[in-house]
Amino acid sequence: MNTDSSCSILKYKILCTLLLLIMVSCFLTGCEKSNQNTATFKQVVKKYEQATTLEGVVSNNDGPIKAGTIKVTDNNEELVASTALQNNGHYSVKIPADTVLPIVLTFYPEAADGEKLITAVVHPSITKYDINPLTTSIAKKAQAMGGYTHANLVRAAEGTVTVPDANKTTAGFRGDPTTQYGGWH
């Protein structure tokens, strides 16, 4: 082979390599620009727009609990409100306006050997939240799944309680799983 044809082949290979590199860099630049235009999803902050009273019953497997304290904490575990449990097992606690959800209602028994119970609040429109061993189990599972969100609470409730197939849909529960199945309120 003569040197002119070797040189031509070498030039051809270099030119093809350069063209390939230019095409790859254009492709990568195009991908980078398309990622810059991707919409970001902002999480909607739910909160109580006005002061709201939450109420419910605290019970264990033996029935309503007669004495103890309910403490309401925010996502940073700061105290939002508290109240004493009424003699019939009912509680009523006023949540200040602009309180950001989720919040956790925690029952502290008077007896040292009593069980601490919790429930998580994620919806500002619901005001009735029972606190019992089942709500405690659901809230703990939801927290372990990544936090107190509606989706995590529903997944935790579905995994905790038996739900008749007739009351399930592909999107979850039909109706309100929280009261219908003794769930998290």
Query: Could you say which DSSP state residue 38 is in?
Result: P
> Are 118 and 133 in contact, with CB atoms under 8 Å apart?
no
pLDDT of residue 44: 77
* In the predicted structure, residue 180 carries a pLDDT above the cut 70: no
E strands within the chain?
52-57, 59-60, 63-64, 68-73, 79-84, 90-95, 103-109, 117-121, 168-169, 172-173
Mean confidence (pLDDT) of the chain? 80
Highest mean pLDDT of the ranges 28-37, 102-111, 166-175: 102-111
**What pLDDT digit, counting tens, does each position of 46-59 carry?**
999 999 999 999 99
DSSP 85-101: PPTTSEEEEEEPTTPBS
Task: Please report, rounded to a whole number, the percentage of residues in the chain having pLDDT higher than 70.
Answer: 63
**What pLDDT digit, counting tens, does each position of 14-62 carry?**
655 655 566 656 555 555 545 555 555 566 789 999 999 999 999 999 9
* In the predicted structure, residue 181 carries a pLDDT above the cut 50: no
pLDDT of residue 114: 85
Report phi then psi at 75, rounded to 5: -65, -20
Q: Choose the weakest-confidence range: 91-100, 125-134, 162-171.
A: 162-171
C-alpha closest to that of 71 among 112, 116, 113: 116
Amino acid 76 reads N
